[in-house]
A and B are shown apart, each in its own frame.
Chain A
Amino acid sequence: MCTPAAGRVRLNVGGRVFETTADTLASAGRDTMLGAMLDASWNVPATTSEYFIDRDPACFAVLLDLLRTGGLHLPPHVPEAALCREALYYGLLDRVRAARWADLDGDRLRLAASVPGRAPGDGAAVRAAPDGGCCVAHGAAVRVYNWMLQERRPVHLAHKPVNDAAYLDAATLLVATRDSSGGGVAAFSALTGDLRHRYLLTHDRQPRPFTPGALAFDNHHSTIFASCKGRLNEYGVAAWDAATGEQADFFYEPPACALGDADALQWLHGTGTLMAATMFPRADSSFVTLLDFRCRTVAWSWSDVGTPASLEDKHAVHAVAMEDGWSVCVVNQYDDLGFLDLRSNARGVRWRSGSKLTGRKKVCAEETCYPKLATHGGQLFASTTTGAISVFSGPDHALTSTLRASDGGVVCDLSIGGDRLFALHNEENVFDVWETPPLPII
């Protein structure tokens, strides 16, 4: 063997000699280049007593350090992109990603990047990918970023305006578009931007044009949901089987529910129901309903039609189901948080008095973006009309952190996924990426 002593390995990487142990290299795993190279089925070059690898030594030093310590330390002269390229060569990219950031904790966030946008249209939505990448729906296209925040080929459905986007998995992206003749829902490869499948809708076995609004994905039953407006009053929520691509169901809009217009859909795994929220100002009043597709019933519903006049100027503008599965959080245009109890029907919103921390400013400019909500790990994230993001923690949702970053204006959408928080700003289409740094060793 080439090893000078038992278990030791000499590597010559681009001219620089490294000495390490076989165990350190094997810790990378058999399905990496280094692991395979040391495998018994591959014989050692007989002439020299060391392995030669024709790659950049500086990056290799960083990666070897990663294998040795589990931590990632990037010296100033090594560009990050180069490191990622080398990590991909060795098959260590996943390790690099894992070492970059820890599990998301709203109180320990740092701004990882601010990615400038170039799109002509307004940013409609930002969606986080399960692996830490994201996509931004701008006007008629969806820009896709990998977790290194390098832009991939954008996705579009014949350049039609995008209503919503959702990740089925890290490599598949679902896009809902609208146009004058209807619209469509289609799945794309997030890696290459190729069209994978178009989801069609039939009523009475007749294919019908429709305009999809919001999207949701239930990854336990692999079902795709979309709020739909049909040409012939076929309003409701459509369901497709993601595996076969066939239409699985259609929940027709019951009276006074405005399902077809829903802005937000969310699958609640605990109860096996779909939350559909239709919010002011798209509708005159706000509706939140829980749909049970198994028995085709509305399991729970709430609307603010007929609220007392004193509260009339307050409208719920966004809703998110809490992770505990028995309440829905809503927010109004003055950043007040309120809660709806899913365990009892037809109760009003319990507005939180303490949430008026930001003060009530009468901002009613046209450019105003209404607040948005997101949840993760028991924490509640709310973008505010002042352009910051508030983090609420604990059972009583106390304000614990406020995130404020680039001056791209008000946050118009936020999304959490892959242990990262993405915030899309109204002006300039800049989006901020927030992540939790690994805990210090001591």
Chain B
Amino acid sequence: MSSQKKRPARIEPFRHKVETDPKFFEKSWKKLHDAIREIYNHNASGLSFEELYRTAYNMVLYKHGPALYDNLIKTMTEHLQEMRISIEDAQGGLFLEELQRKWDDHNKALQMIRDVLMYMDRTYIPSSKKTAVFDLGLELWRDTIVRSAKIHGRLLDTLLDLIHSERMGDVINRSLMRSTTKMLMDLGSSVYQDDFERPFLEVSASFYSGESQQFIECCACGEYLKKAQRRLDEEAERVSQYMDAKTDEKITAVVVKETLTNHMQRLFLMENSGLVSMLVEDKYEDLTMMYNLFRRVPDGHSTIKSIMTSHVKETGKSLVTDPERMKDPVDFVQRLLNEKDKYDNIISTSFANDKGFQNALNSSFEYFINLNNRSPEFISLYVDDKLRKGMKDANEEDVETVLDKVMMLFRYLQEKDLFEKYYKQHLAKRLLSGRAASDDSERSMLVKLKTECGYQFTSKLEGMFTDLKTSQDTTQGFYAANPSDTADAPLISVQILTTGSWPTQPCSTCNLPPEVLAVSEKFRAYYLGTHNGRRLTWQTNMGSADIKVTFGNGSKHELNVSTYQMCVLMLFNTADCLTYRDIEQATAIPPVDLKRCLQSLALVKGKNVLRKEPMSRDISADDSFYVNDKFTSKLFKVKIGTVAVQKESEPEKMETRHRVEEDRKPQIEAAIVRIMKARRVLDHNSIVTEVTKQLQPRFLPNPVVIKKRIESLIEREFLERDKVDRKMYRYLA
């Protein structure tokens, strides 16, 4: 014993073997398994939640999590298989209802199972990266039922059939549809999209492709649009009733594509009912619908716009180039304004005041108005007409609206300087003949032109107004200065016009009657006495006179005549009969004017103060004139008009144009010099572009003219050509 190594006594610790119940898992699982069965059988009232929760907790605590999870899958699948069979057995219309009932059952059961297994959800599942219990239940439902062989296709077909019959006008059970699609959405957006939405969109596309084909064959455009709108509304309503809100956009896109995009050209160009006839017939309602519907179509609005533009250009072009219309400028402009009003109304009522459409309209007007080079003249004549007469009973506001509209047309004009020329002429006539209806309207028109084109444009026009004002003062001053001398002489009212402000007239003097001559000479002396260094020329072709006449038959009248006419009539104070030649000699009025003046005195019915022999329309040198003693008129005051041409005659037109061209030359040159002064060196094309840009607000300069001006400036040594690059110009300071 002693040889043996003495082993120290060791006290073994008491080894308590922790015996876990080997049946622990089976027992616990059985408890849960039974509970799950009771839950699925709607028999959960006897279950104790606390006990079940504690059981599941213990199973997870003792590391039975994986087995618990696997068993859960197995049990739940079994229950779902049973449900599947009962759903499959459901006949016809009961199918969806049965599916819905089972889905509700499953959801309820799943909620309770999750409650029991909450602890597993919190601990075991995150650390093992498994699917949480509730989501697991949904996945199992999806795979076992929704995507099972017998249910998958049947479910989809049932849904699509129901939707089809609803489209055909039947009433379907919408709440059932809603709960079914809700189920698909609950299973995840991908399930909803793959198993329902995509096929639904495909079926819808083919449905609408067929339907729209059918409609377009038999419907007019407006009717077709109404149907399309109704279908769109229906689909939106359907989505809001029983589909995912995200489907709205997609199904709308499908309907728009099938019914609108695919038939866009055909709809627009439909004979008798398409876009053009809607525009012609002012079909505001249809146009509004078209505008709203085609908002969704790519290129929809731009196509509408281009069709409208070409239609407006076409009608506008035929309007401005119609020789029939040229005869009446006022009517011509009125038609333009009406056309503009018409489209403005369409755009504001039907096209939501869309800026793009307004711009398109403006550019088409700009296009066709400038096709006729008499447009500036006509517009000025129109204004003349409005400001001269007819507006007398209209109030200020109406005048304003008309003027505003005219300004709109004015904006489209490219040759604004031409308009200015005519406007000046017409204004001068209005002012001198005292026919301007309202001073306020005239001034308001000036203000409009000023805001549109700047101070420069209207300075001369304003000068005209100032002249008239000063003339009045001067005349008053003249009579105040010579109260006695002039008592017996005819009253004169002199309008002193600044040369340059007024349209230049060839100065054609005539011999004034001695009475008038005397007083005018006095006036000249007075005026030159008060203003040093001025020159006064009589523009007898522009004045007017009031004369009192006693005819042979005793009737007395006061005649309002032009200065020339006055000169002629005064001759008859001393003679009874005068030949044309006599008159011409005595008055020295230019023959053209004299003829016109005699025509208006002798040949206008009702106003023939003179009698001509022979009684022909034309006036020849040997014709004799007598005072018409048989002259009668209801009125005491008789206004003798001049046979005047309102519109310009052909040579006059040529002359105006020539003058305008001449006036443009210095403007172009000034622009060139301004540009070159800033840039020093520039090539030809750039100069042309810049000049065009600068002068655009007044007129559109012709490149050929610009070239000529450049050459003239080179001659005058303002510019020189670059020695190396002949295209470059150099400014010579």
B47 lies within 8 A of A189 (CB) = no
Q: Pick the contact of A171 from B46, B50, B53, B126 — CB < 8 Å?
A: B126
A37 lies within 8 A of B54 (CB) = no
Shortest Cβ distance from residue B123 to the other chain A in the assembled complex, whole angstroms: 7
Q: How many residue pairs, one in A and one in B, have C-beta atoms under 8 Å apart?
A: 50
Chain A interface helix/strand/loop/mixed: loop
A42 lies within 8 A of B118 (CB) = no
B50 lies within 8 A of A91 (CB) = no
Specify which chain B residues have a CB less than 8 angstroms from the CB of A89 in the assembled complex.
57, 119
A80 at the interface (CB under 8 A from B): no
Given A33-B118, A51-B50, A52-B50, residue A43 in contact with residue B45 (CB < 8 A) = yes
20 A-B interface contacts by CB (under 8 A):
A32-B118, A36-B49, A36-B118, A37-B53, A41-B108, A41-B111, A41-B115, A42-B47, A42-B49, A43-B47, A45-B48, A52-B50, A88-B119, A88-B123, A89-B119, A91-B118, A91-B119, A91-B122, A189-B129, A192-B127
B50 lies within 8 A of A54 (CB) = yes
Shortest Cβ distance from residue A86 to the other chain B in the assembled complex, whole angstroms: 11
Which among B44, B49, B118, B128 has the greatest number of chain A C-beta atoms within 10 A? B49
**Which residues of chain B from 657 to 692 have a CB within 8 Å of any chain A CB?**
none
Specify which chain A residues have a CB less than 8 angstroms from the CB of B119 in the assembled complex.
33, 88-89, 91
A407 at the interface (CB under 8 A from B): no
Complex interface bits, A23-40 against B, C-beta within 8 A gives 1, otherwise 0: 000000001110011010
A2 at the interface (CB under 8 A from B): no
B112 at the interface (CB under 8 A from A): yes
Shortest Cβ distance from residue A147 to the other chain B in the assembled complex, whole angstroms: 14
Specify which chain A residues have a CB less than 8 angstroms from the CB of B127 in the assembled complex.
171, 189, 191-192
B126 lies within 8 A of A36 (CB) = no
Shortest Cβ distance from residue A284 to the other chain B in the assembled complex, whole angstroms: 45
A53 at the interface (CB under 8 A from B): yes
Specify which chain A residues have a CB less than 8 angstroms from the CB of B49 in the assembled complex.
36-37, 42
Q: Pick the contact of A88 from B47, B111, B122 — CB < 8 Å?
A: B122
The chain B residue with its CB closest to the CB of A31 is: B118
Given A88-B122, A88-B123, A191-B126, residue A36 in contact with residue B115 (CB < 8 A) = yes
A41 lies within 8 A of B57 (CB) = no
Specify which chain B residues have a CB less than 8 angstroms from the CB of A32 in the assembled complex.
118
Specify which chain B residues have a CB less than 8 angstroms from the CB of A37 in the assembled complex.
49-50, 53, 115
Shortest Cβ distance from residue A52 to the other chain B in the assembled complex, whole angstroms: 6
CA A24 to CA B49, docked complex, whole Å: 19
CA A39 to CA B47, docked complex, whole Å: 13
**Which residues of chain A from 12 to 30 have a CB within 8 Å of any chain B CB?**
none
**Which residues of chain A from 25 to 84 have a CB within 8 Å of any chain B CB?**
31-33, 36-37, 39, 41-43, 45, 51-54
Complex interface bits, A367-383 against B, C-beta within 8 A gives 1, otherwise 0: 00000000000000000
Name the 6 nearest CB pairs between A and B, nearest first. Answer: A36-B115, A191-B127, A42-B49, A43-B45, A192-B127, A37-B49
- What size tier do the contact residues of chain B reach? 20 to 34
Specify which chain A residues have a CB less than 8 angstroms from the CB of B123 in the assembled complex.
88
Given A51-B50, A54-B50, A189-B127, residue A42 in contact with residue B115 (CB < 8 A) = yes
CA A225 to CA B596, docked complex, whole Å: 100
**Which residues of chain A from 167 to 223 have a CB within 8 Å of any chain B CB?**
171, 189, 191-192
The chain B residue with its CB closest to the CB of A152 is: B127
CA A191 to CA B128, docked complex, whole Å: 9
CA A45 to CA B54, docked complex, whole Å: 15
CA A43 to CA B45, docked complex, whole Å: 5
The chain A residue with its CB closest to the CB of B50 is: A53
Specify which chain A residues have a CB less than 8 angstroms from the CB of B47 in the assembled complex.
42-43
Complex interface bits, B83-108 against A, C-beta within 8 A gives 1, otherwise 0: 00000000000000000000000001
CA A351 to CA B403, docked complex, whole Å: 73
Chain B interface helix/strand/loop/mixed: helix
CA A52 to CA B49, docked complex, whole Å: 10
The chain A residue with its CB closest to the CB of B53 is: A33
Shortest Cβ distance from residue A287 to the other chain B in the assembled complex, whole angstroms: 40
CA A52 to CA B50, docked complex, whole Å: 7
Specify which chain A residues have a CB less than 8 angstroms from the CB of B48 in the assembled complex.
45
The chain B residue with its CB closest to the CB of A36 is: B115
Specify which chain B residues have a CB less than 8 angstroms from the CB of A52 in the assembled complex.
50
**Which residues of chain B from 17 to 61 have a CB within 8 Å of any chain A CB?**
44-50, 53-54, 57
The chain B residue with its CB closest to the CB of A191 is: B127
Specify which chain B residues have a CB less than 8 angstroms from the CB of A54 in the assembled complex.
50, 54
Specify which chain A residues have a CB less than 8 angstroms from the CB of B128 in the assembled complex.
192
Shortest Cβ distance from residue B144 to the other chain A in the assembled complex, whole angstroms: 23
Specify which chain A residues have a CB less than 8 angstroms from the CB of B45 in the assembled complex.
43
Specify which chain B residues have a CB less than 8 angstroms from the CB of A33 in the assembled complex.
53, 118-119
CA A36 to CA B117, docked complex, whole Å: 11
CA A430 to CA B47, docked complex, whole Å: 51
Q: Pick the contact of B44 from A41, A51, A53, A171 — CB < 8 Å?
A: A41
Shortest Cβ distance from residue A238 to the other chain B in the assembled complex, whole angstroms: 25
Shortest Cβ distance from residue B116 to the other chain A in the assembled complex, whole angstroms: 8
CA A376 to CA B184, docked complex, whole Å: 45
Shortest Cβ distance from residue B204 to the other chain A in the assembled complex, whole angstroms: 34
The chain B residue with its CB closest to the CB of A32 is: B118
CA A54 to CA B126, docked complex, whole Å: 26
B44 lies within 8 A of A43 (CB) = yes
CA A230 to CA B48, docked complex, whole Å: 62
Shortest Cβ distance from residue A37 to the other chain B in the assembled complex, whole angstroms: 5
Shortest Cβ distance from residue B85 to the other chain A in the assembled complex, whole angstroms: 26
The chain B residue with its CB closest to the CB of A41 is: B112
Specify which chain B residues have a CB less than 8 angstroms from the CB of A42 in the assembled complex.
44, 47, 49, 112, 115
The chain A residue with its CB closest to the CB of B45 is: A43
In the complex, besides A41-B44, A43-B44, A43-B45, 16 extra interface pairs with C-beta distance below 8 angstroms are: A33-B53, A36-B53, A36-B115, A36-B118, A37-B53, A41-B108, A41-B111, A41-B112, A42-B44, A43-B47, A45-B48, A88-B122, A91-B118, A91-B122, A192-B127, A192-B128
Shortest Cβ distance from residue B110 to the other chain A in the assembled complex, whole angstroms: 11
**Which residues of chain B from 111 to 144 have a CB within 8 Å of any chain A CB?**
111-112, 115, 118-119, 122-123, 126-129
Shortest Cβ distance from residue A262 to the other chain B in the assembled complex, whole angstroms: 32
Which among A36, A42, A89, A192 has the greatest number of chain B C-beta atoms within 10 A? A42
The chain A residue with its CB closest to the CB of B127 is: A191
Specify which chain A residues have a CB less than 8 angstroms from the CB of B54 in the assembled complex.
54
CA A32 to CA B115, docked complex, whole Å: 8
Specify which chain A residues have a CB less than 8 angstroms from the CB of B129 in the assembled complex.
189
CA A307 to CA B549, docked complex, whole Å: 114
CA A89 to CA B50, docked complex, whole Å: 11
CA A88 to CA B123, docked complex, whole Å: 9
Shortest Cβ distance from residue A228 to the other chain B in the assembled complex, whole angstroms: 28
Shortest Cβ distance from residue A360 to the other chain B in the assembled complex, whole angstroms: 50
CA A192 to CA B129, docked complex, whole Å: 11
CA A107 to CA B354, docked complex, whole Å: 61
CA A331 to CA B338, docked complex, whole Å: 80
Shortest Cβ distance from residue B591 to the other chain A in the assembled complex, whole angstroms: 86
**Which residues of chain B from 48 to 78 have a CB within 8 Å of any chain A CB?**
48-50, 53-54, 57
Specify which chain A residues have a CB less than 8 angstroms from the CB of B111 in the assembled complex.
41
**Which residues of chain A from 294 to 328 have a CB within 8 Å of any chain B CB?**
none
Specify which chain B residues have a CB less than 8 angstroms from the CB of A36 in the assembled complex.
49, 53, 115, 118
Specify which chain A residues have a CB less than 8 angstroms from the CB of B108 in the assembled complex.
41
CA A110 to CA B108, docked complex, whole Å: 48
CA A52 to CA B53, docked complex, whole Å: 12
CA A32 to CA B122, docked complex, whole Å: 10
CA A187 to CA B49, docked complex, whole Å: 39
CA A61 to CA B481, docked complex, whole Å: 121
CA A31 to CA B116, docked complex, whole Å: 11
CA A41 to CA B38, docked complex, whole Å: 13
CA A31 to CA B121, docked complex, whole Å: 10
The chain A residue with its CB closest to the CB of B112 is: A41
CA A37 to CA B129, docked complex, whole Å: 27
Specify which chain B residues have a CB less than 8 angstroms from the CB of A192 in the assembled complex.
127-128
Shortest Cβ distance from residue B45 to the other chain A in the assembled complex, whole angstroms: 4
Shortest Cβ distance from residue A89 to the other chain B in the assembled complex, whole angstroms: 6
The chain B residue with its CB closest to the CB of A85 is: B61
Specify which chain B residues have a CB less than 8 angstroms from the CB of A45 in the assembled complex.
48
The chain B residue with its CB closest to the CB of A171 is: B126
